[in-house]
Amino acid sequence: MTNSKIKAFLNKKNKKKITCLTAYSKNIAKILDKYCDLVLVGDSLANVLYGMKNTHKLNLDTMINHAKSVRLGISKSLMVVDMPKDSYKNPKEAKKNAKLIIKKTGCDAIKIENNPKNLNIVKYLSRSKINVMGHIGYTPQFKKKFKVEGKEKKEQIKLLKHAKEIEKAGAFSIVLECISKNTSKRITQELKIPTIGIGSSSICDGQILVTDDVLGISGFYPKFVKKYVNLENIVKKAVKNFVFDVKSKKFPKNKNSF
């Protein structure tokens, strides 16, 4: 199950914080590859790039095409690809589609969103020597309403049990999305595999965000996002300057012409 990149990733637990961001194209991936431990081709591209209300209608071909582009920019980072909602309905279908993703994109692993019914899929893929990243808490593919999970004791016990089952099934890592700090702490402490948080406090072994949110170009900034730059304003300024130059006949100049 472990290749050198996966092994290096696992070895970071309790030693060094893990950094993860999303990419949907070569240009962004090439930048992230210099700094991030993991680059995720996330199904968030449904919302970010295609303006869909959720991720439910994103298809396998679209994910593969974007992942192929991302692969061109990756040389160092661990590359993980999200499996779309309807691509892993049962173990055999999951294996077929996961192998297709890996074959066509050369990614290191796939990620699936977990629910109580698909633990057998993690087991089946892991036994087939496919690297699997799990995902619990708020799982957009399966939950219509957003809410923070793990605040109540019963929820905490349930999430901890689920996380341990995913680890036992063979996952090399697990995303904790919008899970309370206390529950994230227990899961992170009791699991041997790295936990990657998004809206789940700094206690996790690593953090992931959608790159477009970090850059300030998504237009959607939930509480757990930190906008590191307002790229939207920078792009607006560049576009306005271009339009002004063209209309005032300042561009193109002789040096821009053949």
Q: What are phi and psi of 49, to 5 degrees?
A: -100, -35
Angstrom CA distances, 111 to 81, 98, 108, 189, 217, stand at: 6, 9, 10, 22, 25
**Which among 18, 90, 158 is positioned nearest to 8, based on CA atoms?**
18
How much is the CA Rg of the chain, to the nearest whole Å? 20
Catalytic one of 152, 177, 190, 232: 177
Please check whether residue 15 is in contact with residue 202, taking contact to mean a CB–CB distance below 8 angstroms. no
237 Cβ partners below 8 Å, 6+ apart?
none
Angstrom CA distances, 108 to 20, 118, 189, stand at: 14, 21, 26
> Does the annotation mark 165 as catalytic?
no
- Residues taking part in catalysis: 177
